[in-house]
C-alpha cells in the first residue's frame, strides 16, 4: 500500500499541529486553508502558531509530504480528511457556516471508503444532522455504508509545553462501528491514547462539558474574588489553602475575564442547543457568562480607585498594560479581556502603552503603543497593570520600579502592589 493521504481543512491553531503530526506519522498531508496569506507563509516555512516552531514546519516541508494549499481540488483521492475550521458566535448564536462551506467544498472529492472527521467544537448533533447530509449530497455517497464519518474533539492547549496533541488522550467517535474503527485507527497513529465513545453526539457533548466546566468554575472564583475584596479577605491565599485538600477540590484562579475563542463561546453552543430543542435555559452558563463578562469593568473600576488613592485621575494618566493576549505565553488576542480593559481605560482618557512580547503588530488595538518592559517605562507609568502574566516578563523589575501595580494574576508582591 502507498503512502496514505491526509487532508486537514483549516491550518490554524488546531489544524497546523495536526498536519505536522500527520507528516511525522508518515501521511502525505494536504493542508487546505482559504486564507491565501496563511498558505503563502506556510509554504515559505513561516509559522504563525507558537507551538509549531519554524524548524518543525521546515522539517515537514523538507519531507515533501506537506502541501499547504488554498485549493480543494488538491484533496482528490484522500484517505482521511479532518475538518478544523472555526466555530464562532454571530450575534450570540452559533455560526456553523465554516463547517457548511468546508462540507460543500470537500463533498465532490469524497471516494468510497474514505474517512471524514470533524474536530471543530460544536453542539451535539452537528456531525450527523449538518455535516452528513452536506457530504452525502455533494458526493452522491452514503454514510454509514459508502464513506466513514466521525467526530473527535480537539483538546489543544496553546502554549502548554506539557500537554501536547500527541500525549493528550483523544476522544473518538463514528457514525457506526466501522466508522469508529477507522477514526480510532487514524488517531492511534497521531496520539498516544484514544478514548472511543458510542456516538458522535457523546463526543460533541464531551468537549462542551470540558469547556462549560471551566467557564462556570472560573466565574465562581471570579465572583468570589470580587466579594472577598469587599470583605477584606485575601482570596488568593484562601484558594491556595483550599487547594491543599488532596481530594474533592480543583483549583481555579480569578482573572480579568475570559477570552480566546473557546471559553466565552463553546458553552453558548450548548445553551443555544438546549434552548432550541428543549425551550429551556441552561442557567449555569448564562450566569457564568454574565459574571465573566463583568470582570474587565471590575478591573477598570479597581484601577481607577487605585489611581485615585495615589492622587491621580484616570483621565490623562499614563498606564502600562502587561500582556494583551487572552492567555499567557501566547500571542492570541481573540476576545482578550485585555483589549476590553484597554478600550475602557482609553475611553476614560488614559494613555495606554503595552508590553506584549508575542503580539502580531496588526492585532494591536488602535492608539496603543507596544513597548519593551524597561525600568524607564515602569517609572513613567502612573499604573502598571498585569493583565496576562507571560512567563518571560521580569516581575521583580515590575515590583522594583513601578509606582503602583494592579495585578490581576497574582504574580507580584510588594507594598506598591494591589491584587485582584
Ligand atoms: N485554538 C484552540 O485552542 C482550540 C482548542 C480546542 C478546539 N478548538 C476548536 O477548533 C476549531 C478551529 O479553531 P482554531 O483555533 O484552529 O481556529 P483558527 O482560526 O486558528 O484556524 C481556522 C482556519 O480555518 C480556515 N478556514 C475557515 N474556513 C475555511 C474553509 N471553508 N476551508 C478551509 N479553511 C477554512 C481559516 O482561514 C483559519 O486559518 C474551532 O471549532 C475551535 O473552537 C480550538
For 63-103, the pLDDT digits (tens) are 999 999 999 999 999 999 999 999 999 998 999 999 999 99
CATH number at residue 131: 3.40.50.720
Residue span of the structural domain in which 93 resides? 5-198
Question: Quick one: 302 and 404 in the same domain?
Answer: yes
Domain boundary among 198, 229, 246: 198
Q: How confident is the model at residue 45 (pLDDT cuts 50, 70, 90)?
A: very high
Q: Do 351 and 227 sit in the same domain of this protein?
A: yes
**79 and 44 co-located in one domain:** yes
Nearest CA to ligand 1 atom 39: 12
Ligand 1 pocket (Cβ < 6 Å) reads 9-15, 32-35, 38, 84-87, 98, 101-102, 120-121, 154, 156, 158, 261-262
Tell which one of 9, 10, 94, 163 to mutate to probe ligand 1, the residue whose CB is within 8 A of the most ligand atoms: 10
- Give residue for cell 483549583: 251
Sequential DSSP letters for 232-282: T--HHHHHHHHTT-SSS-------S---TTSTTTHHHHHHHHHHHHH----
Are 165 and 236 within one domain? Answer: no
Kindly state the helix (H) or strand (E) to which residue 405 belongs, with its residue range.
strand 405-407
- Predicted local confidence at residue 363, as pLDDT: 84
Could you tell me if 246 and 236 lie in one domain? yes
Which of 198, 215, 230 represents a domain boundary (last residue)? Answer: 198
Q: Are residues 17 and 160 in the same domain?
A: yes
| Whole-number Cα distances in Å, 258 to 214, 234, 239, 347 | 10, 21, 19, 21
For ligand 1, atom 24, name the residue with the nearest CA: 10
State whether 188 and 249 are in the same domain.
Answer: no
Residue 1's pLDDT band (boundaries 50, 70, 90)? low
Asked if residue 336 and residue 193 are part of one domain, the reply reads: no
CA of 263 to the centre of ligand 1 (A): 15
Percent of the chain with pLDDT over 70: 100
Q: In which residue are the cell numbers 454509514 written?
A: 144
Active site residues: 262
Q: Which pLDDT belongs to residue 51?
A: 86
**pLDDT reported for residue 377:** 98
CA of 227 relative to ligand 1 center, distance in Å:
37
- Domain co-membership, 236 together with 266: yes
The tens digit of pLDDT for each residue in 282-298 reads 999 999 999 999 999 99
Distance 86 CA to ligand 1 centre (A): 4
Q: How many domains does the chain have?
A: 2
Amino acid at each position: 500500500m502507498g503512502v496514505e493521504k491526509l487532508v486537514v481543512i483549516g491550518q490554524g491553531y488546531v489544524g497546523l499541529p495536526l498536519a505536522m503530526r500527520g507528516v511525522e506519522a508518515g501521511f502525505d498531508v494536504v493542508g487546505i486553508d482559504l486564507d491565501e496569506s496563511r498558505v503563502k507563509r506556510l509554504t515559505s516555512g513561516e509559522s504563525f502558531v507558537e507551538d509549531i516552531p519554524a524548524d518543525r514546519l521546515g522539517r515537514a516541508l523538507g519531507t515533501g509530504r506537506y502541501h499547504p494549499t488554498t485549493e480543494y481540488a488538491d484533496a482528490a483521492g484522500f484517505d482521511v480528511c479532518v475538518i478544523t475550521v472555526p466555530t464562532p458566535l454571530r450575534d450570540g448564536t452559533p455560526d456553523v457556516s465554516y463547517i457548511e462551506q468546508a462540507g460543500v467544498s470537500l463533498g465532490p472529492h469524497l471516494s468510497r471508503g474514505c474517512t471524514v472527521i470533524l474536530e471543530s467544537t460544536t453542539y451535539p448533533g452537528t456531525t450527523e444532522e449538518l455535516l452528513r447530509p452536506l457530504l452525502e449530497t455533494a458526493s452522491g455517497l452514503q454514510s454509514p455504508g459508502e464513506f466513514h464519518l466521525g467526530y473527535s474533539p480537539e483538546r489543544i492547549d496553546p502554549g502548554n509545553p506539557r500537554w501536547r496533541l500527541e500525549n493528550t488522550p483523544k476522544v473518538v467517535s463514528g457514525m457506526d462501528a466501522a466508522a469508529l474503527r477507522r477514526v480510532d485507527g487514524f488517531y492511534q497513529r497521531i496520539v498516544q491514547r484514544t478514548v472511543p465513545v458510542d456516538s458522535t453526539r457523546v463526543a460533541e457533548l464531551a468537549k462542551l462539558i470540558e469547556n462549560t466546566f471551566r467557564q462556570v468554575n472560573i466565574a465562581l472564583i471570579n465572583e468570589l474574588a470580587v466579594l472577598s475584596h469587599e470583605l477584606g479577605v485575601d482570596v488568593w491565599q484562601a484558594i491556595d489553602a483550599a487547594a491543599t485538600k488532596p481530594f474533592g477540590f480543583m483549583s481555579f484562579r480569578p482573572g480579568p475575564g475570559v477570552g480566546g475563542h473557546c471559553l466565552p463561546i463553546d458553552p453558548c453552543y450548548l445553551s443555544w442547543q438546549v434552548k432550541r430543542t428543549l425551550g429551556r435555559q441552561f442557567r449555569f452558563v448564562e450566569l457564568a457568562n454574565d459574571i465573566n463578562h463583568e470582570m474587565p469593568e471590575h478591573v477598570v473600576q479597581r484601577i481607577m480607585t487605585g489611581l485615585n488613592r495615589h492622587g491621580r485621575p484616570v483621565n490623562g494618566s499614563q498606564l502600562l498594560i502587561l500582556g494583551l493576549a487572552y492567555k499567557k505565553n501566547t500571542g492570541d488576542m481573540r476576545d482578550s479581556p485585555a483589549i476590553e480593559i484597554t478600550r475602557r481605560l482609553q475611553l476614560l482618557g488614559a494613555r495606554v502603552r503595552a508590553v506584549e512580547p508575542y503580539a502580531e503588530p496588526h492585532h494591536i488595538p488602535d492608539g496603543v503603543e507596544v513597548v519593551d518592559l524597561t525600568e524607564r517605562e515602569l517609572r513613567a507609568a502612573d499604573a502598571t497593570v498585569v493583565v496576562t502574566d507571560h512567563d518571560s516578563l521580569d516581575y521583580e523589575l515590575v515590583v522594583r520600579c513601578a509606582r503602583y501595580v494592579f495585578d490581576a494574576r497574582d504574580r507580584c508582591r510588594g507594598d506598591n502592589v494591589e491584587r485582584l
